[in-house]
């Protein structure tokens, strides 16, 4: 789980997950209320996650698996992605651009 670089408090999974659904590029620390930004390395890692589910669907579809298996595994992969995202998030005090 991410740790605030200003106050040093470790965020819970629920706080991190809830904070990730904003349109702003920053996260607000639930403890000290200061802005935190996702690190460049964390952005790159998390940018791969949206592509995992479609590739899983495609691989299962080409393997001639039954439809209920494809849907079940696909939903499982999506749940897995949402559940590991907060653990992959790393924060810094300054915004870091990808390029």
Write the pLDDT tens digit of every residue in 7-29. 888 999 888 888 888 778 888 88
- Asked if residue 2 is part of any domain, the answer here is no
Its domain, for residue 66, covers 13-92
Q: Is 20 helix (H, G, I), strand (E, B) or coil?
A: coil
Asked whether residue 1 is assigned to any structural domain, the reply reads no
Which pLDDT band holds residue 58 (cuts at 50, 70, 90)? confident
For residue 3, what are the β-bridge partners?
Answer: 10
- 98 inside domain: no
Q: Looking at the predicted structure, is the pLDDT value of residue 98 above 80?
A: no
Maximum distance among all Cα pairs of the chain, rounded to whole angstroms: 52
Count how many domains the chain has: 1
The strand order across the sheet containing 26-28 reads 26-28, 35-38, 91-92
Q: Is residue 6 part of a domain?
A: no
- Residue 7 is given by DSSP the state T
pLDDT tens digits for range 75-91: 898 899 888 888 888 88
């Amino acid at each position: 789980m991410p740790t605030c670089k200003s106050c040093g408090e470790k965020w819970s999974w629920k706080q991190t997950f809830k904070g990730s659904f904003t349109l702003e590029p920053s996260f607000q620390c639930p403890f000290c209320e200061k802005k935190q930004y996702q690190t460049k390395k964390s952005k790159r890692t998390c940018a791969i996650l949206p592509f995992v589910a479609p590739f899983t669907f495609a691989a299962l579809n080409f393997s001639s698996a039954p439809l209920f298996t494809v849907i079940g595994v696909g939903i499982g992969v999506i749940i897995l992605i949402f559940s590991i995202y907060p653990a992959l998030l790393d924060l810094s005090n300054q915004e870091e651009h990808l390029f």
